[in-house]
Amino acid sequence: MSRNIIVFDTTLRDGEQAPGCGMNVREKLEVAKKLEKLGVDVIEAGFPASSSGDLDSVKAIAGMVKNCTVAGLCRCGEADVDAAREALTHAESPRLHVFLATSPIHLEYKLKMTPEAALEQAVAAVKYAKKFCNDVEFSAEDAFRSDPDFVRAIFGAVIEAGALTVNFPDTVGYALPGEFGERVRSIRERTPGMEKARFSVHCHNDLGLAVANSIAAIQNGADQVECTINGIGERAGNASLEEIVMALRVRKDFFGAETRIDATQIYAASRLVSQVTGVKVQPNKAVVGENAFAHEAGIHQHGVLANPATYEIMTPESIGIPKNRMVLGKHSGKHALADRLADLGLSVDTETLEKVFVAFKDLSDKKKAVSDRDLEALAMDTIQIPETWKLDHWAVNTGSALGASGTIRLVHKDGSARKLVTLGDGPIDAIFLAINHIIGKSPELELYEIGAITGGSASQGETMVKIALNGRRWNGRAVSTDVVESSIKAYLAAINAMEWDLAGGRG
Ligand code: KIV
Ligand code: ZN
């Protein structure tokens, strides 16, 4: 009989914490919906004590998710536990995840604490959390670089205090698979009371070994793996969910372990996370990269045509890449659109389908063939924050002799309208400056990236922007067959996310 491995997804916490991976609450809700559909066991929705925005998004996710446990991270202190329990009040199955560093370097330089005091604090926090929630997880941050005897002692003590899961992170991605596996086994086998709790691992990818280490841990008895979609996370990222899941699935013969994951949702989850964070998946990334199933060499193509198993150890369909690459056009109806969206793992409600259909009709008037990527982009446009500023119209003038100017008219949600003409260092600069003047704020433009969704000059331009103001960051993305328009819309999407946040999520 094969063992079930618990998949603890931390895309919305450790993943979101990574620079450039911020998501707004709407985007987080979409990702949480997708994770639920994917069948993860636990969604770590955020770190509620870290900001009111994080608390609100954990609350919103906890109120929506029905089929998985929702976890909130907290440091070992009552205020943090209180914030997390408040955020999880409406969760069907809540988990309080408390953590404390255990390595000598963290204890001495970060916490300025003795090991004895750390053990006491961890036990007190678990006992406090346990008053409100049966499902408590304790993580020993930087556990791999900690004294194994101390990790056993602290794990034994927190299990005694009621922790149902103990997590052994390789916080800095320092471990090598063989030694990590051995360490997991020796800690598991020699921790008092370990039979009453689950053993979890949480690996970072600084040496590119996060998945290998997680797999080594599973081979050595770990019950839970903590991971993220596309492997996003602090620095080089966390262990990638899709790689762990597919390794266990493809080599079931070897591991005798499986997960509850519906692998056919993997591709859609990967695309969604990439779209909402604006972080592209590297083309040669295992499982979900654009080239993961591309066969360039003639000899490979010949083999795959004769029998896909010659060069493919899993099929594209097994991770949800639709087989039928039929493109839609101006004569396609709403049913065809809904079917195609469902094939892409983008199931939308009736109201959203109406919106996507209107945008699809508009696009198919401009473009003969509407591709999967176009549809994905149209569906993404429906998960934006309510608009404080709506685009009414715009115009740009540019040329080598003239310099550039931009004109824009925006309508505020209170109904008032403002129009401005500005000169700039190029048309985009002119128009972004005009927007800044109108809204009365000058966020820093940290990223402005423009690309074509598909090939050809009729392709839609997709723009991604990241802006920052007073240390906070917001993303915006948009598509249009006109690149200036996609730039304006992306900038405005980021501005609207900023306005909404600055108004406390009530803009
Ligand atoms: O990497 C780490 O140690 C963490 C803990 C908070 C679980 O993210
Ligand atoms: Zn981490």
Give residue-wise pLDDT tens across range 140-185: 999 999 999 999 999 999 999 999 999 999 999 999 999 999 999 9
User: Ligand 1 atom closest to Cα of 238?
Assistant: 1
Of 86-95, 311-320, 321-330, 466-475, least confident by mean pLDDT is 321-330
- Using DSSP's 3-state secondary structure scheme, residue 501 falls into helix
Closest atom of ligand 1 to 171 CA is 1
Q: How many angstroms separate the alpha carbon of residue 321 from the centre of ligand 2?
A: 29
Using a 6 Å cutoff on CB, does residue 99 contact ligand 1? yes
Residue 469: phi, psi to the nearest 5?
-145, 125
- pLDDT: is 17 or 125 the higher one? 125
Give the nearest ligand 1 atom to 167 CA: 7
Compute, in angstroms, the gap from residue 3 CA to the centroid of ligand 1.
Answer: 25
Give dist(CA 130, CA 379) in Å, integer.
41
State the closest ligand 1 atom to the C-alpha of 73, by its place in the atom list counted from 1. 6
Q: Give residue 458's pLDDT band: very low, low, confident or very high (50, 70, 90).
A: low
* Ligand in closest contact with the CA of 170: 1
Determine the atom of ligand 1 nearest the C-alpha atom of 142: 3
Residue 296 alpha carbon to ligand 2 centre in Å: 37
Mean pLDDT, the chain, as a whole number?
A: 92
CB of residue 138 inside a 6 A radius of ligand 1: no
Q: Which ligand is nearest to the CA of 101?
A: 1
481 vs 72 pLDDT, higher one: 72
| Window from 68-82, 130-144, 375-389, 415-429 with minimum mean pLDDT | 375-389
Flag whether pLDDT at 506 surpasses 60.
no
Testing ligand 1's pocket by substitution, the residue of 12, 99, 158 carrying the most ligand atoms inside 8 A of its CB is: 99
Nearest bound ligand to the CA of residue 8: 1
Q: Is the CB of 165 under 6 A from ligand 1?
A: no
Percent of the chain at pLDDT exceeding 90: 71
- Tell me the whole-structure pTM to 2 decimals: 0.89
State whether the beta carbon of 8 lies less than 6 angstroms from ligand 1.
no
Per this entry, what is the length of the chain? 507
Ligand sitting nearest the alpha carbon of 171: 1
CA 57 to centroid of ligand 2, rounded, Å: 19
With bands split at pLDDT 50, 70 and 90, how would you rate the model's confidence at 296?
Answer: low
Instruction: Report helix, strand or coil for 71.
Output: strand
CA-nearest residue for atom 7, ligand 1, is 139
Q: Please give the distance, rounded to the nearest whole angstrom, from the Cα atom of residue 143 to the centre of ligand 2.
A: 11
Higher pLDDT, 347 or 292: 292
The ligand 1 atom at the shortest distance from the C-alpha of residue 169 is: 3
DSSP-based three-state secondary structure for 38: helix
Structure tokens at 492: 């405005």
Cβ of 14 less than 6 Å from ligand 1 = yes
Please say if the pLDDT value at position 89 is more than 90: yes
Contacts 24+ apart (CB under 8 A), 149-153: 150/102, 150/115, 150/119, 151/102, 151/187, 152/187, 152/190, 152/191, 152/192, 153/119
CA 444-21-495 angle, 5° bins: 40
Ligand located closest to 228 CA: 2
For 199, 325, 342, 488, the CA distances from 321, given in Å and listed in that order, are 33, 10, 12, 32
Confidence of residue 479 (pLDDT cuts 50, 70, 90): confident
Cβ atoms of 74 and 42 closer than 8 Å: no
The residue-averaged pLDDT of 26-41 equals: 96
**Which ligand 1 atom is the nearest neighbour of the CA of 143?**
3
What does the pLDDT read at residue 451?
Answer: 85
Q: How far is the CA of 79 from the centre of ligand 2 (A)?
A: 21
What's the pLDDT at 507? 41
**From the CA of 110, how far away is ligand 2's center (Å)?**
16
Q: Which amino acid residue places its CA nearest to atom 2 of ligand 1?
A: 171
Q: Tell me, what's the pLDDT at 468?
A: 92
Confidence class for position 455, pLDDT limits 50, 70, 90: low
**Mean pLDDT to the nearest integer, 65-75:** 98
- Rounded-to-5 percentages of helix, strand, coil across the chain: 45, 20, 35
The pLDDT of 427-446, averaged and rounded, is: 95
Q: Ligand 1 centre and the CA of 196: distance in Å? A: 22
More confident residue, 55 or 385: 55
* d(C-alpha 40, C-alpha 259), whole Å: 8
Q: What is the Cα–Cα distance from 294 to 288, expressed in whole angstroms?
A: 11
Pairing of strands 42-46, 69-75: parallel
Cα separation, 287 vs 503, in Å, equals: 40
